[in-house]
Structure 1
Amino acid sequence: MSPRPDPVVPSSPLGRRRFLTLAGAFGGAAAAWGGMGAAGTAWAAPRAGVTGPAASAAGVAGAAAGSGAPLSFAVLTDTHANVGATAGLDTLRRTFASVQAADPTFVLNCGDITDYGADDEFEAYLSTIPAGLRDRLHHVPGNHEVRWDLHAKELYHRLFGPAPYSFDVGGLHVVGLDPTQLLQEPGHFGRDGLRWLADDLAAAGPSVLFLHFPMGAEHYYVNDQDAFFETVADLPVRAIFAGHIHREQVVRTNGLTQVSANAVKNGAFYYWVDRVSDAGHSVLRVSAVAVAADGTETRRDLTTIPLEEDRTTRQLRPVRIDVGAPSGGRVRVDVQVPSTGSTGTQAQVYPQQIFGGGSAGTWADLTRTSRGWSGSVEVAALAAGAHRLQVRVLGAGGARWDATRPFTVPASGGAPRDRWQARLPGSIQGALAEHDGLVVAATTSGAVEAFRPTRAGREVAWRTTLGPVHRGPAFTADGTTVLVPSADHHLYALDAADGHERWVFGVPDPVLSSPLVTSVGGDATAVFTAGTTLYAVHAETGEQRWKADLHGFFAGRAACDGDRVYVGGGDGRAYAFDAATGAQAWSYDATTRQDSYGRLLYGPWDDTVELLPGGGVLVSTVSSAAALDRASGERRWSVAGSYVYSPSPVTDRGVVLIDEWGRVQLVDPATGVATWKAEIGARALNSGPVVVGDLMWNVAVTGLLACVDLTDGTVRHRRQLGPANTFSTPVLVDGLLVTGDQDGTLRGIELP
């Protein structure tokens, strides 16, 4: 068994000494927060959040004691530090200099601190912060910190502390939230995150929340934001500060005021917030500040946020919402509100197919009745399955209250049929694994479960708990061992019969790729990546065969033909390595971008590499899918499109290409010429198709299950499985499709 290295300080070009120096200068976060937990044998309730660094919180609290004392703070966001963008770093220095001169009690940064979370970007960002401001600065991560984070948030946590967290200052409760998802673009709180928030706010006074993604209005960046609003509906949340959209916006919704801030990336902008008394009522007065190149400041009043309960807006909260059964292509909705304060009410089908984006919506105005508001919404075009109806009650001055209710569109005969559901702790982000009817699912909370699905439910074989799992496990060819990659710096080999550890291979970095089990020289070999290194280990013993430098981060899955291993790299290139020795055979430049950020984004960093018949290998990016010659690395053909995220299975009829926008085509593996093209109606990321004969079943990222006939591209079935995003590739067992999603929900779906 290989030793488990200490994962406390990640491998990093900064080096251990430089890393600790930076972290120490920024308030000692590296010393205050330790490493990740070890593996266990039974599920334990995951730790959903922590309180912020004690020293920092105490310092802030001491700066303004008592709810009546003057209190001022600054808010900024989307700083996007990049070592190659010197003008942007100068803008950031100018912004921080202005903030320091104003002497705030504390400062909030709403995320996207860096362009892509690189070590040198964090170093560049920290170098712009005046020493006198460091212990007053509080952060939350944005999607740019986690989307390509080979450290799995470890570096971020050691520089800035974990999130969520909270602190109190002068009678104001401040909460930093983190709905970001490692390796993904949009947000998701999850049950544990919302439970932590409810517990944190239960005994709090007037509260200010800050996070990266705005919620409500036209924003659909957080998949379970409706659950968030339900969670805080009776809690003392008065204000939310957010970023992400790089523009300024003020929204009064659900009894609170949300300020979305302009980005420092756009210029030297920040927001100044004073707690003042207005006609005897405590309020937050928010001003927008712009700093010119010569340091001249321009301040503009933006909004005033009441710290007492906003009774006017809360009177818009519906007392009752009744959603009828769909009939004649429409669904009826009746909304009862507590008073006549509402000026209008609208309803729409919740835009489930909007993934990490915005939508003005397709709202239908309801008609006022003696009891509230009534009307109907068009649902004829919806797929059968589970949907949400979104209701918006409008009030004076732009105030509103949003609420959602579930409804179901019934399926016709011969359609896929839901048989059962079960929930695991955490999110099922990686693909499911299956061998001889045994299915293994692993979650971001570290829960691993093996079960045998039936039409009546699932028979659990065993459970265990490891570190967080973000990519799919894999069985050995004989089915006796299942390999599980974990962000706790280990690849685990578990006995498929009972889940006990056969061996554990430790590495300096989180394992954020899907392992490939292949045969090299007659020996079962596991190939995977961690950090910027490609590893090959004996699948029976866990002993290392070789390792190779990938020169960048790779979160996908390699391919191997027994002679060579083919893999993508975060440096914009694809590589071939000798499968026996790890010696590099060739590399292929997959992008024309020259900067490090561009080469990562536009390279094959998250590709599931596929072998093609006739000596080819398929490597994909957000720009194209390219068939390369396995012997030389020369390109044979390419198809334009963003095919990097969804696996591209090779079938008897050809290669199935699915781009991230849900466009599907079947191409000839020899030429790349398309036989047919189709659209499944929703975006597809990470979750790949299951092929059964001439039918392909695919779960889109929005939870839409679609069946495509491989003979002609006809979409035969569509079913909405649920509200959660899906990144996990399903498996098929005896006609039962088993799926997993970000809510941790497993489903058994009987296929027609």
Structure 2
Amino acid sequence: MTTRPDQSAATTNDDESNHRRARIGAAAPGTLSRRRLLALAGAGIVGGPAVIGGAPSFASRAHAADGQPEGEADLRFAVVTDTHANPEQPARMDLLSVVLASISRREPSFVLNCGDITDFGGRSAYDAYLATIPGDVVDRIRHVPGNHDVRWDAQAAQVYRELFGPAPYSFDAGGLHLVGLDPTQLLQEPANFGPEHLDWLAADLRSAGPSILFLHFPFGADHYYVNDQDAFFETVAGLPVRAVFAGHVHREGVYRFNGFTQVTGAAGRNAVYYWVERHVDDGHPVLEVTSVTVDVAGTETRSELTSIPLSGDGEGRLLAPRKVVIDRAGRDGMTVRVDAGRDARPAVVRAQVYPQHVFGGRSAGTWIDLTAEGRSRWWSGRLDTADLPPGRHRMQLRVVGDDGATYEAAELFETKPADSSAAMPTERWTLRMPGAVQGALAERDGVVVAGSSGGEVAAVDAVRGKVRWRREVGAVYRAAAFSEDGGAVFVPSADHRLYALDAGSGEQLWSADAGDPVLSTPQPATIGQTEAVLFSAGSALHAVTSADGAPVWSSDVGGIFAGRAACDGDLVYTGGGDGHGYAFDAASGERVWSFSVTDRTDQYGRLIYGPWDDTVELLPDGLVMFATVTTTFAVRRETGELSWQISAGCMYPPSFVAEDSLLLVDEWGGIQLVDPRTGEAEWRTELGARALNAGPVVVGDTAWIVATTGLLAGIDLATGEILHRWQVGPANTFSTPVIVDSTLVLGDQDGLLRGIELPG
């Protein structure tokens, strides 16, 4: 590790490289890195007989230099998704080789890979994937990442970008405009575009011809994987999107809505891909999509799947409502009225409260059919809102035509408490930051420090919302931490650096280069006579001096650790990406003991069922706590011997520890107060919503927690009774809030900081 005290704050160039469009045949995002492929070819890794660069490019075979079709030649391409490459699964890799060889024989103009290229995003997994690609196909495959490619990636998708370039991006081929989208969220499971990504998409499509989008997550129907999909629908309304190809669900499906046809694909790891050809049908251009299944011997089974029109008004576009009116009169429901418009002839109009509780999953919903009002264009019905917490919600609308084509949209609405005299949280101020506020907030003397994935750090007065200072660094995904004397703020960044900023001015004091993205929350600690900072980067745990960032020691933790270490002065405790909890000598960094938290034996299993994202906690009576997605363990600090364990996956939400009580929250919203010495529960309650990464904050006798769904709840610590419920908004929340006086400050994935005055 090197230290550069005088270096100015670093910024990433991803925004510049993301906002570009490429012609086929040029070096473009989404294709494999030529330097990387040449190295692999030289090592004998890339399969196939062709020499890279030796075959004619698909640009010269499929279209002219201006991107238009050559003569009457039709465009032909393949789509594959969810290849899930894993070097420990040789049978899967052999089958994938057969699939890609089948694609190669068809001589596609290009190939789209819709993500989950690998199981866990490691370099060995990418190498296993690259080894399956025939040499004459390597320069034709365009990629977008899936959640498996970025969630557990200690390199913060750096290897992905090195191989395939940044996303989003677009290119033109044979008169079509193709756009690769990336709503994945580093360290998280579901998707979110955010305002910046959608602004880019709108600008990219504004002057485009017939367009095809490809990404990992599907939209609409019963899919709720993209939290801001309603904003996506608004963005592409009226723009020339004709087709969307997606994966993730490992299930074949066709859905025609909002002007385009969406095809979701079965998993490539199960030997399925899709062959797409452009034809002219009755004078109109269409894409004919065929599902192809390949067995291990290379035998193909073909099945016609769908035909996608490239011209006309688009599937379901004319069903867009002219007007939507929500009447919130009454405490237990609201009336919805929809003007279907002069030209629309809907067969069915449906509405429901958006299932905000569905986090990265599927839901059939609780739809009601609206009723046509006589001979008018209006449809109406009443939605039950009696069980909704007060606050901001979404209503989801679905208009269906006689041919099954659909239009989907959403409308915001607000509910009031049943008791109008009840004291409720009140929003006092907001501040938007670039990207997402994903890491927990830090607070000292009434000043809140937040970092964003857009690379900004801001210090804000908690009560008034006034910005004290702003500073640009690399992308921030985890919490900052104040030094023990409060004079400095330590900020982790994906640009490989831990920054020390002056707490009063934001000026950089020093930065330490860890050599890998810093994706963990730093922990100040006293080691002997040295004030130090502990943090993880890559697969190493580092200790540096808090005065100047000079290295003290570093130790291997077997893979990614995106949580926070703990230190009692003698030992440092941390989780590891190899399924272990560890104790290291605080002075030397030597490993003292390890504790296995899973009986899985494969690399991928030990990673995802290990304490890779745990906030390690010191408990009374010489115990330390580790947690996974299934179990929470308390072990002896001196020896690593198990003291107690409970069947609750409390890894993601940090816990609240007091002398005689331990408040545990699991990712499914189960909350329990336990004796930290024995693990015995005093009470249990259910939040009714998922909770990931945002832990409880306690004021007096009330614990406040923000669920991933945006639900703010106040819980009586004595009984577990939920005293307050308020829906902050529709954005997902992974950031632990802070409370100053009566003001709670929280951040969300849309980049909003909010100051909320609590009741009482």
TM-score, normalization: structure 2? Answer: 0.92
Query: Structure 1: how far apart are the matches of 2:595 and 2:93?
Result: 33
1:199–1:41 CA distance, 2 compared to 1 (3 A)? closer
Asked whether the equivalents of residues 18 and 166 of structure 2 are also in contact (C-alpha less than 8 Å), the reply is no
1:177–1:262 CA distance, 2 compared to 1 (3 A)? same
- The answer for the alignment partner of 1:293 in structure 2 is 296
Query: Structure 1: how far apart are the matches of 2:196 and 2:609?
Result: 34
> Is the aligned partner of 1:425 residue 2:434?
yes
- The answer for the alignment partner of 1:80 in structure 2 is 84
The aligned amino acid for 2:599 is: T
Give the superposition deviation at 1:340.
4.5
Q: Give 1:208-223 correspondences, 5 Å limit.
A: 208-223=212-227
Asked whether the equivalents of residues 42 and 463 of structure 1 are also in contact (C-alpha less than 8 Å), the reply is no
Give the superposition deviation at 1:46.
7.3
Secondary structure at the residue paired with 2:650? coil
Identify the match of residue 447 of structure 1 among 449, 456, 479.
456
> Is the aligned partner of 1:303 residue 2:306?
yes
Give the superposition deviation at 1:61.
3.8
After superposition, the C-alpha distances for 1:394-446 in whole angstroms (9 at most, x for unaligned) are 11222110111100011342122222222111100001100011111110010
After superposition, the C-alpha distances for 1:166-207 in whole angstroms (9 at most, x for unaligned) are 110110101111100100001111111001111111111000
Structure 1 vs Structure 2: percent identity of aligned residues?
Answer: 55
- The answer for the alignment partner of 2:42 in structure 1 is none
Identify the match of residue 434 of structure 1 among 421, 432, 443.
443
Give the superposition deviation at 1:2.
4.2
Query: Structure 2: how far apart are the matches of 1:87 and 1:160?
Result: 25
Query: Structure 2: how far apart are the matches of 1:286 and 1:724?
Result: 35
Secondary structure at the residue paired with 1:396? coil
- RMSD value, Cα: 1.9
Give the superposition deviation at 1:134.
0.5
Give the superposition deviation at 1:520.
1.7
1:303–1:291 CA distance, 2 compared to 1 (3 A)? same
- The answer for the alignment partner of 2:317 in structure 1 is 314
Query: Structure 1: how far apart are the matches of 2:318 and 2:27?
Result: 38
Asked whether the equivalents of residues 18 and 169 of structure 2 are also in contact (C-alpha less than 8 Å), the reply is no
Query: Structure 1: how far apart are the matches of 2:11 and 2:714?
Result: 38
Identify the match of residue 156 of structure 1 among 151, 160, 168.
160
- The answer for the alignment partner of 1:714 in structure 2 is 721
- The answer for the alignment partner of 2:140 in structure 1 is 136
Give the superposition deviation at 1:236.
0.3
> Is the aligned partner of 1:642 residue 2:642?
no
- The answer for the alignment partner of 2:240 in structure 1 is 236
Identify the match of residue 425 of structure 2 among 416, 433, 450.
416
- The answer for the alignment partner of 1:175 in structure 2 is 179
Query: Structure 1: how far apart are the matches of 2:638 and 2:369?
Result: 63
> Is the aligned partner of 1:350 residue 2:321?
no
Secondary structure at the residue paired with 1:195? helix
Secondary structure at the residue paired with 1:55? coil
- The answer for the alignment partner of 1:723 in structure 2 is 730
- List gaps (5 residues or longer) in structure 1: 6-36
> Is the aligned partner of 1:196 residue 2:200?
yes
Query: Structure 2: how far apart are the matches of 1:532 and 1:741?
Result: 28
The aligned amino acid for 1:153 is: A
1:551–1:40 CA distance, 2 compared to 1 (3 A)? closer
- The answer for the alignment partner of 2:53 in structure 1 is none
Identify the match of residue 61 of structure 2 among 53, 60, 63.
63
Give the superposition deviation at 1:552.
1.6
Moved more, 214-223 or 310-319: 310-319
1:490–1:539 CA distance, 2 compared to 1 (3 A)? same
> Is the aligned partner of 1:735 residue 2:738?
no
The aligned amino acid for 2:9 is: A
After superposition, the C-alpha distances for 1:468-511 in whole angstroms (9 at most, x for unaligned) are 00001000121110000000000000001101111110011000
Query: Structure 2: how far apart are the matches of 1:540 and 1:431?
Result: 24
- The answer for the alignment partner of 1:323 in structure 2 is 326
> Is the aligned partner of 1:400 residue 2:406?
yes
Give the superposition deviation at 1:69.
2.9
- The answer for the alignment partner of 2:45 in structure 1 is none
- The answer for the alignment partner of 2:557 in structure 1 is 550
Secondary structure at the residue paired with 1:398? coil
Secondary structure at the residue paired with 1:158? helix
1:4–1:98 CA distance, 2 compared to 1 (3 A)? farther
TM-score, normalization: structure 1? Answer: 0.93
Query: Structure 2: how far apart are the matches of 1:597 and 1:468?
Result: 26
Query: Structure 1: how far apart are the matches of 2:2 and 2:315?
Result: 63
Query: Structure 2: how far apart are the matches of 1:334 and 1:60?
Result: 51
Query: Structure 2: how far apart are the matches of 1:458 and 1:328?
Result: 33
Give the superposition deviation at 1:326.
4.5
> Is the aligned partner of 1:94 residue 2:85?
no
Asked whether the equivalents of residues 260 and 314 of structure 2 are also in contact (C-alpha less than 8 Å), the reply is no
1:674–1:720 CA distance, 2 compared to 1 (3 A)? same
Query: Structure 2: how far apart are the matches of 1:520 and 1:326?
Result: 62
Query: Structure 1: how far apart are the matches of 2:329 and 2:604?
Result: 48
- The answer for the alignment partner of 2:52 in structure 1 is none
The aligned amino acid for 2:191 is: G
Give the superposition deviation at 1:292.
2.2
1:107–1:43 CA distance, 2 compared to 1 (3 A)? closer
The aligned amino acid for 2:685 is: A
Give the superposition deviation at 1:549.
1.1
Query: Structure 2: how far apart are the matches of 1:269 and 1:684?
Result: 35
After superposition, the C-alpha distances for 1:693-712 in whole angstroms (9 at most, x for unaligned) are 22100001111111111101
Identify the match of residue 603 of structure 2 among 596, 600, 618.
596
Secondary structure at the residue paired with 2:91? helix
> Is the aligned partner of 1:39 residue 2:45?
no
The aligned amino acid for 2:689 is: A
The aligned amino acid for 2:372 is: R
Moved more, 94-103 or 649-658: 649-658
Query: Structure 1: how far apart are the matches of 2:474 and 2:12?
Result: 12
> Is the aligned partner of 1:334 residue 2:332?
no
Identify the match of residue 394 of structure 2 among 388, 400, 418.
388
The aligned amino acid for 2:340 is: V
- The answer for the alignment partner of 1:27 in structure 2 is none
The aligned amino acid for 2:296 is: A
Query: Structure 2: how far apart are the matches of 1:44 and 1:606?
Result: 25
The aligned amino acid for 1:55 is: A
Query: Structure 2: how far apart are the matches of 1:233 and 1:131?
Result: 40
Aligned length: 718
Query: Structure 1: how far apart are the matches of 2:13 and 2:446?
Result: 23
- The answer for the alignment partner of 1:278 in structure 2 is 281
Q: Give 1:615-630 correspondences, 5 Å limit.
A: 615-630=622-637
1:284–1:424 CA distance, 2 compared to 1 (3 A)? same
Secondary structure at the residue paired with 1:230? helix
Query: Structure 1: how far apart are the matches of 2:549 and 2:74?
Result: 61
Give the superposition deviation at 1:47.
6.6
- The answer for the alignment partner of 1:467 in structure 2 is 474
- The answer for the alignment partner of 2:488 in structure 1 is 481
After superposition, the C-alpha distances for 1:696-743 in whole angstroms (9 at most, x for unaligned) are 000011111111111011011111101111010101111100000000
Asked whether the equivalents of residues 81 and 88 of structure 1 are also in contact (C-alpha less than 8 Å), the reply is yes
> Is the aligned partner of 1:704 residue 2:711?
yes
- The answer for the alignment partner of 1:9 in structure 2 is none
- List gaps (5 residues or longer) in structure 2: 32-56
Asked whether the equivalents of residues 50 and 162 of structure 1 are also in contact (C-alpha less than 8 Å), the reply is no
Query: Structure 1: how far apart are the matches of 2:75 and 2:487?
Result: 62
Query: Structure 2: how far apart are the matches of 1:535 and 1:50?
Result: 37
Identify the match of residue 674 of structure 1 among 678, 681, 686.
681
Query: Structure 1: how far apart are the matches of 2:98 and 2:403?
Result: 36
Asked whether the equivalents of residues 17 and 166 of structure 2 are also in contact (C-alpha less than 8 Å), the reply is no
1:419–1:46 CA distance, 2 compared to 1 (3 A)? farther
